[in-house]
Amino acid sequence: MASAAALRERQRTLLKLLCNLSHPRAMGGGPRTFPGGINKWQYKRMHEKMAREKERRLLQQEKQLYFARLRSEIRAKVAGKETPPSDDASGTGPMSSKDHIKALADRFMKAGAEDLWNKDDGPLFSSSQRPPSRPSDRTRPLDLRQIVTDGRRRSGASISSFEQRREYSVMAGRRPSPNAKSRWRRNSSSDDDSDSNYDLELFRRSNTDVNKSSRFPRISTGNEEMEVEADKGDARIRKKKMMSSAALRNIDLKKERRRGRSLEEEDETSHQIQAIRDELKKEAFANDVRRPEVKEEVLLTQKRFDVCNISPLTIKALAGAGYSQMTVVQEAAIPVCLEGKDVLVKARTGTGKTAAFLLPAIETVLKATSSNANHRVPPIVALILCPTRELAIQIAAETNVLLRYHDGIGVQTLIGGTRFKLDQKRLESNPCQIIVATPGRLLDHIENKSGFSVRLMGLKLLILDEADYLLDLGFRKDIEKIVDCVPRQRQSLLFSATMPKEVRRISQLVLKRDHEFVDTVGLGGLETHAKVSQSYLVAPHGLHFFIVHQLLKEHIMQEVDYKVIVFCTTAMVTEFMFILLHDLKMNVREIHSRKPQLYRTRISDEFRESKNLILVTSDVSSRGMNYPDVTLVIQVGIPPDREQYIHRLGRTGREGKDGKGVLLLAPWEEYFIDEIKDLPMEKTKLPELDSDIKQKVEDSIGKIDASIKEAAYHAWLGYYNSIGEIGRDKTTLSELASQFSRSIGLENPPALFRKTALKMGLKGIPGIRIRK
């Protein structure tokens, strides 16, 4: 018992001694933290991320250097120069993360790698590999004009900046010598401002001892003592080389060199050469401006449809419709589309884009039906999406013309404004290998779970007509949902008359990366037809309705078979304009989104087949609609954007015919002319308004129902509120809306619903009335 008690006492004593001992901790008593209050795992992940980013930057730099070398070889081949054989030109792709370090080490041993060396890397050449020096030619006086006109530098190299092979080395093309002059060139690898600077060469002559005057040991290769010292300290040099700037891939960082006095004369000469070159370029540019190249717009080509790989039955249908020769866009696009590639096509309005994608669609259907004949439910092979119902009906009608002699192949339309059950019945009973649809109604069928999405699994071809509008913000989400529901292994075709840069970028949602781009407009070409004269008028809003009436009267007097389209900003303004012109005894029709689909289809067909008719419409008729022989297009108010102006104007001058376009703006809308200043626009004087006719128009405006005027005011206010340049200043917008309300015969602006005013950001704005 006593021994056990003594043992316990001894243990307690030892525990007290251990507790009294101090164990210092490097990171404090609490959880280990690092700068910034992060724990060790966050610190570790942060450094791993930094390492990955550094590796990614190194690989990106390697990739840029690789492609730059390829461009240099291409430029050399174009200039007709023989490129020296190099191990770099192996034709391989960008290097992987595992072998890029080995490639760095290999580049140290290759010709042209002098700029990768620094003073820690040792001598560049051994004594046995020292290159012979070149004699310098400085005896002849300089003739600057002769140098520029001959296209030669003082060194004998060509001064054409686009015909030279791009060299990355300071000593590219030859190895340095102690007695030879050294040169360096400022190029795009070391200077971003490379428009004209990389043609400038500077020369320097080193007449003093290399050890005394040279800052860079890589130039002073003739010093035997340095080579001996480098051989003795070989182990030390290899150790330093591991952390040299070349090993760290700072290959594009050139050390700044002090300009010697001997360079001043050479620098002045080079500046004189550059000044003469700039002068000659200006003269050549002025001659080009004085003699612009005028190309006559050609619609038809000499190529016939029967020479393409198109079904004879389709050729027969084309001949029956009166088509034998291809248009420019058809000749350029159809062969590429028939190869099965994804294609993005840009062509002017009215040049035959519809047939350019319908013919490949029919050929795709014929191949699919011949290879897959055993299907309980026939799949949908080709899907054509378009933004408006009228355009969908028109495309379906043209498809039926081309399918005239093809039995068992049919086309169906899926558009809004029709009964959903009727669509389902037609899809089940009639052949429908080709579907022409608007995005909204197509999504209704996909989400209905009636088996339509299963039939889309056999889709071979997806076509977007008016692709720029479908890929815009209004339809983009619907297009993304539709693309997710169709097979990835498909062909996609995108057609439009306008192709902004943003749409080119977003088109990757539908097209493959290796798609073809067919542009029949050309870089710098006009997006409108040369035979369509364009003009604009600037007048206060109170005179717009009077001027439209006057323009129509004058055009009717000038044209025997007139056919006019008047575009208005909104549906309700369109209805107001129609009632006004109808009351003034003009032969006028209207189409806008507030009308039933059967009415819109009937009016569209009537206007297509008739003459001596005026169509007042909103933007539902601005894209793709083929109304032949339209003689005049009037646009009242500012268009939503430049592209919409071009598409509206494209309703006239189709198939190479003449046409006329007039844009009517208010003074505060004139800024829009800057957006279309590259188009041949002319400002014309306002027509003279007869007092009797003016009184007639005022009387007709007074007869229009007040409810239509209020609806027109609300629609006008919402439209201009959505235009950034105008809707940004709410107070000014309220004043302009008051002027418009007076121009349509309202004494006071109508009141808005509270919810509408809040949504438009107009609550509390002077001049905006809120309904109680």
pLDDT at 573: 95
pLDDT at 113: 52
How far, in Å, CA of 415 to CA of 588, rounded?
26
Long-range contacts of 501-506 (CB under 8 A, 24+ apart): 503/467, 503/468, 503/471, 503/472, 504/344, 506/471, 506/476
Tokens for 337? 């589309």
pLDDT at 504: 81
Answering whether pTM is above 0.75, one says no
| CA neighbor of 142 nearest in space, from 203, 194, 81, 183 | 203
pLDDT at 442: 93
How far, in Å, CA of 184 to CA of 187, rounded?
9
How far, in Å, CA of 306 to CA of 636, rounded?
45
| CA neighbor of 467 nearest in space, from 434, 432, 511, 433 | 511
The residues of the chain scoring below 70 in pLDDT are: 1-3, 7, 14-34, 36, 80-271, 277, 280-298, 372-376, 523-525
Per DSSP, 299 falls in state -
Tokens for 564? 């006019």
Residue 393, helix vs strand vs coil: helix
pLDDT digits (tens, 9 = 90+) for 429-487: 888 899 999 999 999 999 887 788 888 998 999 999 988 888 887 788 899 999 999 99
pLDDT at 77: 77
Residue for token pair 């004085």: 290
Tokens for 318? 């084309």
Tokens for 406? 């093809």
Residues facing residue 664 across a β-bridge:
537, 636
How far, in Å, CA of 257 to CA of 409, rounded?
76
- b/e per residue 285-297 (b: at least 16 CB within 10 A): eeeeeeeeeeeee
How far, in Å, CA of 281 to CA of 401, rounded?
55
pLDDT at 453: 87
| CA neighbor of 104 nearest in space, from 114, 116, 93 | 116
pLDDT at 567: 96
Pairing of strands 325-327, 300-304: antiparallel
pLDDT at 372: 63
Residue 723, helix vs strand vs coil: coil
| CA neighbor of 432 nearest in space, from 416, 452, 406, 410 | 410
Q: What is the DSSP string of 167-183?
A: --STTTTS---SSSPEE
Residue 364, helix vs strand vs coil: helix
H or E element, residue 285: helix 263-290
How far, in Å, CA of 249 to CA of 39, rounded?
32
